[in-house]
Amino acid sequence: MGTCILKRWHRQLVTCALIFWVAGICWAQSDTLLQEANRQYTLKAYGRAIEIYTQLLTEPAGKLTADQRITAQENLAHSYQLTGDLKKAELTYRDLTSTTELTGPHIESYLHYAQTLVGNGRYSESQLMYEKYNKLKDKTAEAASSPFLDPATGMIGKKTATRYRLEVLSLNTSNAEFSPMYYRDGLVFVSGKKSTTLETSGKGGGGSYLDLFYVPDRQQLKTSQLIKADGTVTKPVQSRSRKDRRAASAQHSRASANDSRTIGGYAGGITISDGLRFSKGVQPFSRALNSRYHEGPVTFFSDGYTVVFTRNNYDGRRVRQSTEGVTNLKLYKAIQQNGTWVNIEELPFNSNDYSVGHPALSKDDQLLFFASDMPGGVGGTDLYVSRNENGKWSKPVNLGKEINTKGNDLFPFIDERGNLYFASDGRKGLGGLDIYYAPLVNGQSAGPVEHLDAPINSDQDDFGLITDGNRKGGYFSTNRQKGNDDIFRFVRESSLYGCRNLTLRFYDELTKLPVDSVSIDIKARGEEKKNRTVLTRKDGLVQLCLESNNDFIFRASKDGYVTNTVGFSTNALTDDSPSRLEISLNKPPKIVDTVQYVPALANDGWDIVDSQKARVRGMIRSEKDRKPIEGVTINLKNDCDGAIRQLITGADGRYEFELTEGCDYTLSASKERYGTNTSRIKKIGHKSTTKVLSADLNMLRVGDIVQLDNIYYDLDKWTIRSDASHELDKLVATMQKYPSLTVEIRSHTDSRGDAVYNRYLSAQRANSVVSYLASKGISRKRMVAAGYGESLLLNGCANDVDCTEAEHQRNRRTEFKVLSIK
């Protein structure tokens, strides 16, 4: 079992654990056979699970529902696959997929079936199953990538897969190469021939054993293949000039764990003794560390002078075994003196009875993560963390069920930000071991576990990833090519998060204060019918996560503010720096009319006056029918001295005042149950040739119904047409002029068509008018929408009455009724 924790640990445990798990099984009498079968399957007691599932599936039809039967067949086939009986697994998968079209979570069985067919040498059939699985998976991913709103973060958008370019390194051989780790400017990795059993005798240092190897300069690593983000495989151009190499080095030389001169994967290079001398090729890392048995993977302290490495339970003299005769794995520490690794010693939490391996250190060297199958874990192998407390390692703590699964979790790596990468076969990945990412805070899980996108992960084993804090590039291990463990380099070619982080802040243009509860309608290009809406917080902020390579329109509205529309594009944005937009909102202005000058006419009904004296005169009329209003109080305020003159209109509704040249005036007309109409009079200059101003004022009264002309809609539509906008803007001006005015927006149809539908259609049209006015900053509290359909016809054109189109058009109208005004 000593090699289990290295690369094949997760597979061997399936067989190793069967003996112990089955012995402890005790059926609960109340459990059904199906529940018991599922329990055994979950516990990885596949032998017992096979027995029960076989019994269930041979019983008469009807004892299991259709979904239960599918699950039982899936688990039976997968149990056969995991125990190595691929012939029976193939027959069971064939029976399952030939009678049922799998959907949802069941599509995973197509992948398992494809893997089984490969194992049985049926490559053409396997390819068909892979294609079917990928097609269904893409559909599922498309559905999952639909617009989403995360209530925890307030982020909205459509997430897209992160794109990576892969480079197959030329250092790979027919042996296994895996688990790279940064050291100086190079890489330390594990290599050796595959072995399925642990040998406890022999020369070691090769043969069936794994050793540590070193490439001094990773920038000089050549590649044998390039795999683009779209899956296209090409041959790299290996011949490059020295100038090109310097440019490439500069391009990849930003301070990160991937590219800087680092020890142990973090920034801050050090000087190492010249005792470590290597050629440009691959060399054994250290004769002092490589022994007769397995070594690797490794991790380094940030100063580069201390290494923690995995090795068989071997103290340099003899191999030790557990009480069951198994040589397990342990973690060892060594320090470097004069270029040689010395003082090799065990870490305190090792044991002869279980394996401990795969070390990974945090940037500050205070946290050591590793994998182990020690008792008390969640699954086969779990991830643990130990703290460096005054130079001593604390008792390991299991990372818990947020990270660990009932499967095998291993190959941890900690980036410079303290976040965890690891491999697992206990989650729903693409197949075998898959690589996952988990944000950590102080060594504990701080967020959901993320499955890395293809092509990092594949349907084979993918593990041992190392990278920088922004995941701009790095290295990982995979056996996707010919079943050999190889080391690939990867380069990210898109945003890390698959979406662009954007913060919007809304503020009042006048006060500069944040505006809360702003409703933001988000429309992406190509999604005209899929609007998403979010609200700002008290601080006026909202955070969005927007789909890459797309254009967006934000329509921000709040009651009492003019709607603002802003565009934003994520096209060609590959960096991960968040963006921020500051957007102002304006309240609608209060409109005060300005009186216009007109020449006095002899036949306009007014008395002839001395044209040399400045004056203002006019008529007060009803807005509804344009008739004169009697009893209106007219106030004229001189803005120069504040003096106010007043008169009350007679039956003709007329008024007239003399003006002092060189002064501005404020003119107001008021009457009970009417809205006060206020206008400004700009000063008349001494040299002005026109001395008489005409100021006819219209007044609104409670109960007035005013028709809006030229408000037309397309057939069976209620969208505001562009030719209606001009007329509605007049109503906007009226609402702005009378801040206290509240109205009922009334929409009517003619009598043709169904009466119920006509009422619905007219209600929708009235709502459209209200929405238009609201977009101009008119508060919705001041408006009521009402659809009357054909119930208030203006003429006799009722049902079955023969009328002209013009007569019907008269009934198709939009109007407003004054509900209150001051």
pLDDT digits (tens, 9 = 90+) for 557-566: 998 999 999 9
In this prediction, residue 162 has a pLDDT band, given cuts at 50, 70 and 90, of confident
The pLDDT value recorded for residue 467 is 95
C-alpha distances (whole Å) from 73 to each of 66, 99, 134, 616, 649 are 11, 11, 21, 95, 94
619 versus 716: the higher-pLDDT residue is 619
Instruction: Report, as an integer, the average pLDDT of 425-449.
Output: 86
Q: Where in the chain is the domain with CATH 1.25.40.10?
A: 4-144
Residue spans of alpha helices (H) in 658-754: 722-737
Q: How many CA atoms lie within 13 A of 805 on its CB side?
A: 0
429 versus 83: the higher-pLDDT residue is 429
The pLDDT value recorded for residue 314 is 80
Instruction: Report, as an integer, the average pLDDT of 101-122.
Output: 80
Token pair in block for residue 542: 């909202």
Enclosing H/E stretch for 17: helix 9-23
Instruction: Report, as an integer, the average pLDDT of 62-68.
Output: 77
User: How many Å apart are CA 82 and CA 79, to the nearest integer?
Assistant: 5
C-alpha distances (whole Å) from 714 to each of 583, 720, 763 are 34, 9, 15
pLDDT tens, position by position, 350-390: 999 999 999 999 999 999 999 999 999 998 899 999 999 98
The pLDDT value recorded for residue 63 is 73
Kindly compute the dihedral angle of the four CA atoms of residues 17, 20, 21, 24, in this order, to the nearest 10 degrees. Answer: 180
Contact present, 456 and 465 (Cβ < 8 Å): yes
616 bridge partner residues: 657, 693
Q: Give the Cβ contact number of residue 201 at 10 Å.
A: 7
The pLDDT value recorded for residue 2 is 39
Class for the domain spanning 4-144:
mainly alpha
User: How many Å apart are CA 255 and CA 694, to the nearest integer?
Assistant: 76
The pLDDT value recorded for residue 263 is 40
Closest CA to 141 of 117, 113, 116, 162: 162
Question: Which amino acid would we find at residue 253?
Answer: S
Contact present, 524 and 552 (Cβ < 8 Å): yes
User: How many Å apart are CA 254 and CA 417, to the nearest integer?
Assistant: 16
The pLDDT value recorded for residue 628 is 94
pLDDT tens, position by position, 418-429: 899 999 999 988
One CATH from 3.40.630.10, 2.60.40.10, 3.30.420.40, 3.40.50.1820 for 593-699: 2.60.40.10
Judge whether residue 202 has pLDDT over 70: no
490 bridge partner residues: 166, 474
Judge whether residue 689 has pLDDT over 90: no
Instruction: Report, as an integer, the average pLDDT of 573-583.
Output: 77
Residue 229 DSSP symbol: T
For the ranges 266-275, 280-289, 516-525, which has the lowest average pLDDT?
266-275
Q: Give the Cβ contact number of residue 226 at 10 Å.
A: 17
Contact present, 742 and 729 (Cβ < 8 Å): no
User: How many Å apart are CA 147 and CA 157, to the nearest integer?
Assistant: 5
C-alpha distances (whole Å) from 713 to each of 115, 722, 724, 762, 813 are 61, 10, 8, 10, 10
In this prediction, residue 246 has a pLDDT band, given cuts at 50, 70 and 90, of very low
Phi-psi region of 454 (alpha: psi -120 to 50; beta: other; left: phi over 0): beta
**Could you identify the residue written with the tokens 């480079």?**
167
Q: Sign of the C-alpha dihedral, residues 234, 280, 360, 363?
A: negative
The pLDDT value recorded for residue 368 is 96
776 bridge partner residues: 562
User: How many Å apart are CA 427 and CA 417, to the nearest integer?
Assistant: 24
Secondary structure string (H, E, C) spanning 791-811: CCCCCCCCCCCCCCHHHHHHH
Q: Where in the chain is the domain with CATH 2.60.40.10?
A: 593-699
pLDDT tens, position by position, 589-628: 877 777 765 555 544 566 655 556 788 888 999 988 889 9
User: How many Å apart are CA 541 and CA 537, to the nearest integer?
Assistant: 5
**Could you identify the residue written with the tokens 């307030």?**
154
Maximum separation of any 2 CA atoms in the chain, in Å: 129
Collapsed DSSP state (helix, strand, coil) of residue 798: coil
pLDDT tens, position by position, 480-500: 988 889 999 999 887 776 677
Judge whether residue 11 has pLDDT over 70: no
Is residue 123 exposed (0-12), middle (13-18) or buried (19+ Cβ within 10 Å)?
exposed
Contact present, 751 and 793 (Cβ < 8 Å): yes
pLDDT tens, position by position, 511-550: 999 999 898 888 887 665 556 777 888 889 888 878 777 8
User: How many Å apart are CA 289 and CA 326, to the nearest integer?
Assistant: 22
The pLDDT value recorded for residue 543 is 82
pLDDT more than 90, % of the chain: 33
CATH 1.25.40 fits 171-492, yes or no: no
User: How many Å apart are CA 113 and CA 134, to the nearest integer?
Assistant: 13
Kindly compute the dihedral angle of the four CA atoms of residues 709, 714, 720, 725, in this order, to the nearest 10 degrees. Answer: -40
Judge whether residue 585 has pLDDT over 90: yes
Highest mean pLDDT among 18-27, 131-140, 158-167: 158-167
In this prediction, residue 435 has a pLDDT band, given cuts at 50, 70 and 90, of very high
The pLDDT value recorded for residue 498 is 64
DSSP-assigned letters across all residues of 511-580:
T--B--S-EEEEEETT-TT--EEEE--TTSEEEEEEESS-EEEEEEE-TTSB-EEEEEE-TT--S---EE
The pLDDT value recorded for residue 453 is 84
Cis check for the bond before 284: say yes or no (omega within 30 of 0): no
Residue 4 DSSP symbol: I
Residue 751 DSSP symbol: S
Name the CA radius of gyration of the chain, rounded: 40
In degrees, to the nearest 5, what angle opens at C-alpha 708 toward C-alphas 702 and 714?
140
Residue 652 DSSP symbol: T
In degrees, to the nearest 5, what angle opens at C-alpha 303 toward C-alphas 299 and 306?
50
Q: How far apart are the first and last CA of the chain?
A: 90
Token pair in block for residue 424: 């697992």
Give me the CATH topology for the region 499-585: Immunoglobulin-like (2.60.40)
Instruction: Report, as an integer, the average pLDDT of 146-170.
Output: 64
Name the average pLDDT for the chain: 79
Give the distance, in angstroms, between the CA of residue 115 and the centroid of all CA atoms in the same chain.
32
Phi-psi region of 376 (alpha: psi -120 to 50; beta: other; left: phi over 0): left
Q: What is the CATH number of domain 705-820?
A: 3.30.1330.60
The pLDDT value recorded for residue 28 is 31
Residues 6 or more apart whose CB falls under 8 angstroms from that of 763 comprise 747, 785, 786, 787
The pLDDT value recorded for residue 161 is 74
Residues 6 or more apart whose CB falls under 8 angstroms from that of 342 comprise 288, 334, 335, 336
**Could you identify the residue written with the tokens 């002309």?**
709
C-alpha distances (whole Å) from 429 to each of 299, 643, 820 are 26, 84, 65
The pLDDT value recorded for residue 742 is 92
